[in-house]
Amino acid sequence: MKIAIDSYCFHRYFGEIYPDLEKSPLAKMNLLECVQLCTAFGIEGISIESFMLDSPNQQDIQQLKQLLTQHQLELVWAWGHPSGLYSGQKPDMLQDLYRHIEIAQALGAKVMRICAGGRKTRPQTDWQSHKDALVQLLQQAVLYAEQFDLVLALENHVDFYADEIVDLIQSIDSPYLGICLDTANNLRMLEDPWQAIEKMLPYAKATHIKDVTAYQGDPKNFAFWPSVPAGRGLIPLEKTLKWLAKHDYQGLLAVEIDYLHPDYLQNGTEHQAIQDSIDYLKLLRNIFTTTVRSSINEEDRHYWCRCHG
């Protein structure tokens, strides 16, 4: 497991502002500056939101790849902000997804996070109709990704209940499709967070490690559930990381902060909340990987004793 940042933590610096909830920062940044800033947090990987590299050309891709190589960062390329395939309503978006599969491969990514939709595109129809609109599109995306030996990780993007996204993954049944597990998004859909996470964990190929808390207003609204530093909210991150360590998850643990609780903004920035989250994840990783190794060693010792009397 590698500790990482999802570049969406810095969405405000790219003009992505939640209306009435956030303010624009004093200055903006470009993607190379963002990646350089992320390296200062002591990370081992990064998930990069593709919208932050608008209409990339070959030179842009080469510069980014050089920076990632320089800092030895494992990459997850992230496509689909904010609405991906629009819950199956815009099949023409497949062409853009294909283009980003090629960009991901050029950058050296082994996993690409994708979105089938978002909280604003989830249809009011029954699940079967929603599923039918997506299955064919996702099957085509998977076949294209397979040509590049690239795994697609479908995010639970406040457009799926846990059972629904698992149903999709099982129905397509390909080693080139898994889940980008966002630890908080299903609480925002009023599902029990651990029950939702536990269902999705076996299919995790990437993660957004996000913690949220209850704030004010209506729980059905996004604003009720602001992000907080990892370990300070309602999401069972200890149980999540313990499961991942036990099952030898090899992907990124990517901290993601979207709308940050106002109490955690320091000097108008998210920096301290990000650093606190990374430090917390490193602590948990060290605890659980050591525990797992000790458990395996103990099992080996008992096996040796049985064999050798």
Residue ranges of domains in the chain? 2-308
**Which pLDDT belongs to residue 297?**
54
**Structure confidence by residue, pLDDT tens digits, 138-183:** 999 999 999 999 999 999 999 999 999 999 999 999 999 999 999 9
CATH number of 2-308: 3.20.20.150
In terms of DSSP H, where are the helices of 157-269? 162-172, 193-200, 237-246
Which residues of the chain are modeled with pLDDT < 50? 296, 298-309
Can you give the pTM of this predicted structure? 0.94
**Which pLDDT belongs to residue 295?**
62
E strands present in 122-274: 151-155, 177-182, 204-208, 211-212, 227-228, 252-255
**Which pLDDT belongs to residue 180?**
98
**Which pLDDT belongs to residue 304?**
34
**Which pLDDT belongs to residue 290?**
84
**Per the structure block, which two tokens stand in for 150?**
């690239």
Other CB atoms within a 10 A radius of the CB of residue 206 amount to 29
| CB distance 166 to 156 below 8 Å | no
105 alpha-carbon distance from chain centroid: 18
Q: Is 193 exposed, middle or buried (0-12, 13-18, 19+ CB in 10 A)?
A: buried
78 alpha-carbon distance from chain centroid: 8
Residue 37 identity? L
